[in-house]
Amino acid sequence: MQAHLERILLCALKIRIASSVRLLEVDLFAEALRKPDPESFETILAKQKKSQEDAFKAFEEKVKQKDLPEVRPEDRPDYWR
């Protein structure tokens, strides 16, 4: 009985997106059933490190550009004292 209810529940939770061309089925529990990748944490850390390095490089390039905005008097903290 429980297996039958689980099968009905899984069928009910499948999302069907119908268009005129194709039918797409998505199983919400498919990812949960897969075994975790032991290297996934290191992969995420590597992506974050690369993204951070790219951001630092882009920042350094923007700082080195000669098109820096002019500093207005009201941009200085002493102006407001």
Quote the pLDDT of residue 19. Answer: 46
Quickly list DSSP for 47-81: HHHHHHHHHHHHHHHHHHSS-PPPPPGGGSGGGG-
Quote the pLDDT of residue 1. Answer: 58
Domain segments of the chain as ranges: 2-65
Quote the pLDDT of residue 72. Answer: 87
**Model pTM above 0.75:** no
What is the pLDDT tens value at each position of the chain, 81 positions in all? 566 656 665 655 554 444 455 666 777 787 778 777 888 899 999 999 999 999 999 999 888 887 777 888 888 888 887
Quote the pLDDT of residue 18. Answer: 47
How far apart (Å, rounded) are the C-alpha atoms in residues 63 and 40? 35
